[in-house]
Amino acid sequence: MNIRRHRAILLAYLGMIVLLLLTSVVAPGFLSATHLRSTVVLAAFIGIVALGQTFVIIGGGIDLSVPWVLNSAAVLMTLLAGSQDAPLLWIVPVLLAAGALVGMVNGFGVAIFGVPPIIMTLAVNVILQGGILVYTGGAPTSTAPKAIQFLAVGRIAGFPVVLILWIALAAIATILLSKTAFGRHLYAVGTSATVAEFSGVPTLRTTVLAYTLSGFTAALAGMLLTGYTAQAYLGMGDPYLFTSIAAVAIGGASILGGSGHYIGTIAGALVLTILTGLLPALNLSSGALLIVYGVVILVTVSLASEALSGLSAFLPRFGRSRGPSA
Amino acid sequence: MTELLNATAITKRYGGITALSRADFSARAGEVHALLGENGAGKSTFIQILAGAVRPDGGTVTLAGSPYRPRNPQEAQQSGISPVFQELSLVPDLTVEENIWFRREPLSAIRTVRARAMREATLELFARHKFPPIRPDQELRRLTLAERQVIEIAKALSRDPQVLILDEATSALGPQETEWLLGLAKGLAEAGRLVIYISHRLGEVRQIADRITVFRNGATVAAYDTHAVDDETIITDMLGRRMDRLYPERKSTASQTVALGLRGFGVDHRLADIDLDLREGEVLGVAGMQGHGQRELFQALFGIGGSRGTVEVWGKPKTIRGPRQALTGRDGLALVPEDRRNHGLLLSKSVRENLTLSVIQRFTRFGITDPKRESALVDEMIATLKIKTGTPEQLAGTLSGGNQQKVIFGKMLLTEARILLLYDPTRGIDVGTKGEIFQLMRDLAAKGYAILFYSSDLAELVHVADRVAVLRNGRLAAILEGEDNSERQILRAALIETRAA
């Protein structure tokens, strides 16, 4: 479709492979099937949160409410289910819908009332955090129902269930972005909302839908993550703010919107997870680990995002000065 | 007379593309020298070399006898060459005066800006060159496109340049500001400066230029004294082939069916009491001085901003709440907007994506887009409009202005809308493409499209439109047709209060 987009995505995968090789040198045994499998499973959680984030960022926005949408879904699920499997039949759909609804509120705030996405989603994040603290009184919750644990850590014929789920979601996301009117509209809105509006693109609907999707995937990831850790706890969503955005950026999307693809985000999620696995092998203290992690992500994102989409943002001007225009 | 600026055998290549190939140009102090050529002829590249933004691969430039090789725009300006570009370079958040003196502000001992000195300098500059009234403390974002262009000119003049380069500077201006600028250019020349004037409007060139140089395909094809050459020769030299006629034959194809009927149409205080019928098969021109309601008329009809009064489309009342609704269906209205870059095109997206942006449903089955059907639509439009693009995947921002405009036309023509609102569609476009666009308009009219057509170039209205509605102070001042449809009558109606409209 678009050569530059391909190049950015290709670069993300290339980076991933280089990182994998590097890891196998530093930490032999990292490339074992067991380790790879757990890496992919961990990447799936980032990947699912980053799915919605990808859509929002392509559309020219950003979703900072991800951590507490995720956390709220996790906490509410364990509280409502009380370790029982049966109630999940209504709890899971209801919480997914609730997550989507929060996303929709974000979308309306941004698209109708013109609240800057950073403010809108940050406010919603804080409101949800407060709500959950009030609701739970700050106390931890009961353990995750068995069915959810199966989804998160179980296997079908040796294949992690959560990975199957991720692949299915990735397929849907790819079709939405590449093969539907919604996808086309989203790229247009992210490139220039004004031009999109002048071209008859339903900008409001498109923006709201992107945020709705982000709320949905954050809630889904929250419940799956609860299954993985067997328990919901306060603050479990916090790491996913940074990682979901970083995954999108490493995946080659411009943080300013209008470009990128979920296929790239997948590589971004994997890169981040491999990094997380690699750093402990360096025998650093956990504080130092965070510092290195942050710096490495900063550098990676700058390299991947700025060098490519930053350059391409200049392309029209650049092209004009050299193209055959009078 | 001695030449002030002398360029010989200038060559510039970008990869495989040769932008300039041994182009020559020479001009003397005290003249307005027009540089003409189609889009892609190399004018911009040449100007950018003079402005220090681009360095040539070969050739020499001398300025007042000594070699001139600016390494960057600052050096060019220090040598006394100031360009006014078509692409505006102003900062929207700064005020008029802050923009004019940007990074050259008068500073106090502790390096704060001396506001009063800056104001005085601004007012003095405005007075010296008889600028149209603009408040120096206005934020730039509040100004119209025309006013911004004027400020761009002020910024260049504030350096008191020896050589002033005006690149399509009048394309954003209304008739009054254009008159002012033409007078200004002549005045500067009389004061011994050199004005290099690039325009696609031959009338203006004729009015002020002493000499003309024509570029074609990166080389100089002709240079002559303006009074010794006729328009046909100039156009022939620009095109390299004989252009039959710039304006197509106008055969009235209007039917009795009213496509768009306005009654008491208005937009807050800027447009009022407009009664107007646009008929099927008709090209109805709209004229007016800058800021007399034409922009409001076009935008309101496209659903941008509120309006009052009644709108009937193909005989049925229609409320237009937004562009999406305006564009939808067989009773739709399509707009080719004023601001190509910010309203018309996704510059960083491909020609294909731009062309089909409004009609994705046309190649979507069961929610999934079909690339083959899309390609068919795109290929057809590229062929019909003769859009010059390498492949449909080329980025729209890399096309020439004329071809960008064709892409916007194509996008609108793919919709079902048969009422076209064209806002200054030939602004800053080369002669060849202009001719094609006029022909297209007449062809579409003949097919039953109804076209509302605003142009800042009155000659276009006179030669292309069947009738011309003239706006003055947001009201309909006159509808001119037949003999009355002349530049003189349009200007008269646009400027002078008349009783009989």
pLDDT band, very low/low/confident/very high, at B500 (cuts 50, 70, 90): very low
Contact state of B398 with A323 under an 8 Å Cβ cutoff: yes
Q: Which B residues in the span 61-90 are in contact with A, Cβ-Cβ below 8 Å?
A: 87
The answer to whether A7 touches A308, Cβ cutoff 8 Å, is yes
Instruction: Tell whether B335 lies on the interface with A, counting CB pairs under 8 A.
Output: yes
State the pLDDT at residue B39.
Answer: 66
Cβ(B217)–Cβ(B42) under 8 Å? yes
Order across the sheet with B475-481: list the strands: B333-336, B419-423, B450-454, B283-287, B467-472, B475-481
Domain-located, residue A20? no
CA of B417: which chain A residue's CA is closest? A200
Contact check, Cβ <8 Å, B344/A195: yes
Q: CA–CA separation, A309 vs A57, rounded Å?
A: 13
Whether residue B131 is found in the same domain as residue B279: no
- Using CB atoms within 10 Å of the CB of residue B362, give its burial: 0 to 12 exposed, 13 to 18 middle, 19+ buried: middle
Within-domain flag for A326: no
Separation between Cα atoms, residue A179 and residue A170, nearest integer Å: 13
Question: Does A260 fall in a domain?
Answer: yes
User: Is there a domain that residue B37 lies in?
Assistant: yes
The answer to whether residue B337 sits within a structural domain is no
Quick one: B319 and B462 in the same domain? yes
pLDDT level of residue B131 (50, 70, 90 thresholds): very high
3-state DSSP assignment of residue B160: coil
Same domain, B146 and B226: yes
Task: Sort out which chain A residues have CB atoms less than 8 A from B368's CB and list them.
Answer: 175, 179-180
CA distance A139 to chain B (A): 46
B144 versus B356: which is more confidently predicted? B356
Does A312 sit within 8 Å of B14, measured CB to CB?
A: no
Q: Binning pLDDT at 50, 70 and 90, where does residue B233 land?
A: confident
CB atoms A321 and B54 under 8 Å: yes
CB B378 within 8 A of CB B350: no
Among B206, B221, B239, residue at a domain's last position: B239
pLDDT at position B332 is 94
Please report residues of B whose CB lies closer than 8 A to that of A197. Answer: 322-324
- Contact across the interface for A197 and B369, Cβ inside 8 Å: no
Contact residues on chain A for B367, CB-CB shorter than 8 A: 180-181
**Pick the residue with more confidence: B412 or B390?**
B412
What ipTM was reported for this prediction?
0.85
B323 touches chain A (CB under 8 A): yes
Give the residue on A whose Cα is nearest the Cα of B35. A326
Q: Is residue A163 part of a domain?
A: yes
pLDDT(A57) > 80: yes
User: Which of these three, B364, B385, B414, is where a domain ends?
Assistant: B414
- Residue B302 is assigned to a structural domain of this protein: yes
The yes-or-no verdict on residue B40 having pLDDT over 70 is: no
Total domains in the fold of chain B: 3
* B408-422 mean pLDDT: 95
In B, minimum Cα distance to A189 occurs at B346
Token output for A215 = 């709320």
Q: How far is CA A249 from CA A49, A121, A186, B208, in A?
A: 14, 19, 17, 54
Q: Which of A6-15, A198-207, B402-411 has the lowest mean pLDDT?
A: A6-15
User: Stretch A53-60: mean pLDDT, rounded?
Assistant: 97
Best mutation target, A3, A112, A195, A204, to test chain B (most B CBs within 10 A): A195
pLDDT of residue A305: 55
What's the first-to-final CA gap in chain B, in angstroms?
Answer: 52
Q: Are residues B396 and B424 in the same domain?
A: no
How many C-beta atoms lie closer than 10 Å to residue A217's C-beta?
30
> Token pair for residue B204?
């203006």
What is the C-alpha separation between A52 and B158, in angstroms, rounded? 51
Q: Which of A196-205, A288-297, B49-58 has the lowest mean pLDDT?
A: A288-297
Residue B157 sits in a domain whose CATH number is 3.40.50.300
pLDDT in tens, B485-496: 888 788 788 877
Could you write out the DSSP letters of every residue in A244-264? HHHHHHHTT--TTSS---HHH
Q: Check whether residue B71 and residue B215 sit in a common domain.
A: yes
B446 within some domain: yes
Q: d(Cα B162, Cα B76) in Å, to the nearest integer?
A: 11
Answer yes or no: is A279 within a domain: yes
Residue-level pLDDT at B144: 85
Residues B50 and B116 in one domain: yes
The answer to whether residue B392 neighbours chain A at the CB level (below 8 Å) is no
Given CB atoms, is A259 within the 8 Å cutoff of chain B? Answer: yes
Give the number of A-B residue pairs with CB atoms closer than 8 Å. 123
Res. B249: pLDDT tops 90: no
Domain holding B352, by residue range, is: 342-414
The region of weakest confidence among A14-28, A259-273, B150-164, B254-268 is A14-28
Specify if B36 maps to a domain: yes
The answer to whether B58 faces chain A, any CB pair under 8 Å, is: no
Question: Looking at the domain assignment, is residue B364 inside a domain?
Answer: yes
User: Is the pLDDT at A312 greater than 70, yes or no?
Assistant: no
Q: Are residues B151 and B268 in the same domain?
A: no
Q: How confident is the model at residue A30, as a pLDDT?
A: 74
Residue A200 banded pLDDT, cuts 50, 70, 90: very high
Give me the residues of B, 165-224, that contact A with CB < 8 A.
none
Q: What is the nearest CA distance from A241 to chain B, expressed in angstroms?
A: 29
Nearest CB to A181; choose among B42, B323, B360: B360
B401 shares a domain with B273:
no
**Cβ atoms within 10 A of the Cβ of B416, count?**
14
Distances (CA, A) of A258 to A133, A189, B375, B466: 37, 7, 22, 42
Contacts of A175 in chain B (CB under 8 A): 368
- Please indicate, yes or no, whether residues B128 and B52 belong to a single structural domain of this protein: yes
Answer yes or no: do B348 and A316 touch at CB < 8 A: yes
pLDDT tens digits along B191-218: 999 999 998 778 888 999 999 999 988 8
Interface mutation vs chain B, best among A191, A199, A204, A206, most B CBs within 10 Å:
A199
Decide if A247 contacts A47 (C-beta within 8 A): yes
State residue B176's pLDDT score: 86
* Mean pLDDT computed over every residue of chain B: 89
B222 & B256 share domain: no
pLDDT digits (tens, 9 = 90+) for B427-451: 878 778 888 999 999 999 999 999 9
| Strand locations in chain A (E) | 155-156, 159-160
Mean pLDDT of A116-139: 92
A323 CB near a chain B CB, below 8 Å? Answer: yes
- At residue A211, the 3 state secondary structure works out as helix
Mark whether B375 and B392 lie in a shared domain. yes
Question: Could you tell me if B93 and B29 lie in one domain?
Answer: yes
Residue A317 domain-assigned (yes or no): no
Average pLDDT for B333-360 = 94
- In degrees, rounded to 5, the angle at the alpha carbon of residue A318 between the alpha carbons of residues A321 and B202 is 30
pLDDT for the residue numbered B1: 52
- For chain A, give the percent of residues with pLDDT over 70: 90
Asked if A15 and A305 touch (Cβ cutoff 8 Å), the reply is no
Question: Which residue range forms the structural domain that includes residue A293?
Answer: 3-15+43-309
Confidence of residue B251 (pLDDT cuts 50, 70, 90): confident
**Is A321 within 8 Å of B342 when comparing Cβ atoms?**
no
Cβ distance A14 to A251 under 8 Å?
Answer: no
User: Which of A153-162, B241-250, B281-290, B405-414 has maximum average pLDDT?
Assistant: B405-414
Taking residues A40-60, report their average pLDDT. 97
A77 membership: H or E segment, kind and range: helix A66-81
**Which band of pLDDT confidence, cut at 50, 70 and 90, is reported for residue A8?**
confident
> Looking at beta carbons, which residues of chain B come within 8 Å of A198?
302, 323, 335, 337, 343-344
Query: Which pLDDT belongs to residue A318?
Result: 33
Amino acid symbol at A213: L
Contact between chains at A325 and B397 (C-beta distance less than 8 A): no
Across chain A, what does the average pLDDT equal?
87
Contacting residues of B for A258, CB less than 8 Å apart: 346, 348-349
Percent of chain B with pLDDT over 90: 63
**A3 contact residues in B (CB cutoff 8 A):** 393
Nearest CA in chain A to B303: A198
In a domain, A21, yes or no: no
Q: Which residue out of B20, B302, B360, B430 would a mutagenesis test of the A interface target, given it has the greatest number of A Cβ atoms within 10 Å? A: B360
Does residue A262 carry a pLDDT above 60? yes
A312 at interface of B, judged by CB pairs closer than 8 A:
yes
pLDDT at A306: 52
**Number of domain units in chain A:** 1
Q: Please say which residue of B239, B261, B283 terminates a domain.
A: B239
